[in-house]
Structure 1
């Protein structure tokens, strides 16, 4: 069975984007950027909600061809293009860059994908991740907390019907006071 991880950057007050979808508070240090790049390299299948897909696919497919692209950005762009992706949406018609579109029930499809052989899966996007959380499908949370309070925006975590008990498995500090906390779901 494949492992499913929800990895996300968020503000200290729990938002993945400030009002107006502002992500300017979450610019990663070189070390944090490398952490995310290495996660992409290790991911067997990425599961994206529509909005996260639109954000990522608007930049990374050609980021390595942009003037001034750093070696790290070129590496991430290549890794991102190569990584298999499933995009969950009923509002878009096509996806590209080693992705396939899923228009059916997300929980049913994620359950099926978890049962397959293959490398670990990452899930991104708060709406898609919320469905997986409520269904008890997430095995690990990799939360990167930035030392900023944004006061509102898009929350990282949904309201849940039941508690999700977790075990802390790792902490790591990045430049600028950014903190990674990894938790496994207690089963």
Structure 2
């Protein structure tokens, strides 16, 4: 059985992007990117909302169209070798291999995916993650807290849901980023 992980790069005040949609402040350096790569290796399936998929599909061709540092090239390979499910009512097709399109989030289908998986799954995109949290499907939260407060924007964690968490791991990086790994004890 796989765990469902919600991971995100966030500002100190909990946003993945500011009010203009800018998230450039969260670009990882090579040390952080290498660490993220190690966390991503056990993930067998990415669950994406439409907007997150549109951002992440960059990695499908990033290593052939751009000169990438080693850690980013390695991440492109990891991303390309991972299955993806995109939840969107507006997309007519997906543009990357190993990707399927679902029109709506079905908690029971995701529960089955988890129970049948031999690798972990991750959910990305705050709106999609909210559905997973509300359904009680998220097992872990991984935060990469950057030393910046952006004052508003798109929050990583859903509003109106209480999460009781247990700290399972932490790490500080030279840039001031702090990694926090929490187990979800209860979501209500």
TM interval, short-chain normalised: over 0.9
> Structure 1: which 5+ residue stretches go unaligned?
none
Q: Distance in 2 between matches of 1:74 and 1:15?
A: 26
Could you say which structure has the higher helix fraction?
1
Assess if the C-alpha contact under 8 Å between 1:40 and 1:83 holds in 2: no
Superposed displacement of residue 120, structure 1: 0.5
2:69 is aligned to 70
Taking structure 1 as reference, are residues 67 and 119 closer, same or farther at Cα in structure 2, changes over 3 Å only?
closer
Taking structure 1 as reference, are residues 67 and 159 closer, same or farther at Cα in structure 2, changes over 3 Å only?
closer
Q: Distance in 2 between matches of 1:67 and 1:16?
A: 24
Assess if the C-alpha contact under 8 Å between 1:45 and 1:121 holds in 2: yes
1:4 is aligned to 4
- Helix, strand or coil: the match of 1:5? strand
Moved over 3 A (4+): none
Superposed displacement of residue 67, structure 1: 4.1
2:116 is aligned to 116
Assess if the C-alpha contact under 8 Å between 2:105 and 2:131 holds in 1: no
Return the TM-score normalized by structure 2: 0.92
Partner deviation per Cα, 1:161-183 (whole Å, 9 max, x = no partner): 5x221110011011211001111
- Helix, strand or coil: the match of 2:163? coil
Return the TM-score normalized by structure 1: 0.93
Aligned-residue CA RMSD (Å): 1.4
Partner deviation per Cα, 1:125-169 (whole Å, 9 max, x = no partner): 1001011111111000001100101011111122235x2211100
1:92 is aligned to 91
- Helix, strand or coil: the match of 2:48? strand
Count the aligned residue pairs: 185
2:18 is aligned to 18
2:36 is aligned to 36
